[in-house]
Amino acid sequence: MKSVGVLALQGDVREHLNLLDSLGVATAEVKKPQQLELVDALVIPGGESTTIGKMAVRFGLFEPLRLAIEAGLPVYGTCAGMILLSGTVIDADQPLLGSLDVLVRRNAFGRQNESFEAGVDVEGLSDPFPGVFIRAPWVEKVGAEVEVLGSVDDHPVMVRQGRILATSFHPELTGDGRIHQMLLDLI
């Protein structure tokens, strides 16, 4: 049986675990480096990207996480997870894994009170995905290996690079498991 870990330092951990459970997948919280070896894929949840990054460094998880992704661990980052996976972030000084060749703008759609929901046409899905955008980033620039899978107002909000998947929206809040299934398909 496939096992998917959720980086459990801060953010929407429980919501991702619940959605993955609904797909019949074994799940685990990942808080320590050795727990990375026990999962077939990893979700980096939404939350506060600076806090998650600093906690990963403090708990000795940052470098093992970067190396696991580099070695081919399938990973899916939502919102803050997209930011952490990126190579560069505009207007922020925070730890970045540099695993995803994108330039990201934090809070690009606005502050908390400007959060919104929108249908996102995602490549490979027959119906629009119900995107929940909460202080969401967008991708300003993609590298040559990055495939844009979905956009809102001409701004990329879902990308894939090899076995890395990232969205600026929160599928874990919708009950719709189609994007999490895309992660499972990368295993």
Q: Which of 15, 16, 172, 180 is catalytic?
A: 172
Q: Which two tokens stand for residue 180?
A: 């999490």
- Between the alpha carbon of residue 26 and those of residues 3, 41, 145, the distances in Å are 5, 11, 30
- Closest C-alpha among 110, 111, 80 to residue 97: 80
Q: Which of 15, 16, 170, 180 is catalytic?
A: 170
Decide if 180 is catalytic.
no
Decide if 172 is catalytic.
yes
Decide if 63 is catalytic.
no
Q: Which of 79, 123, 145, 147 is catalytic?
A: 79
The catalytic residue positions are 79, 170, 172
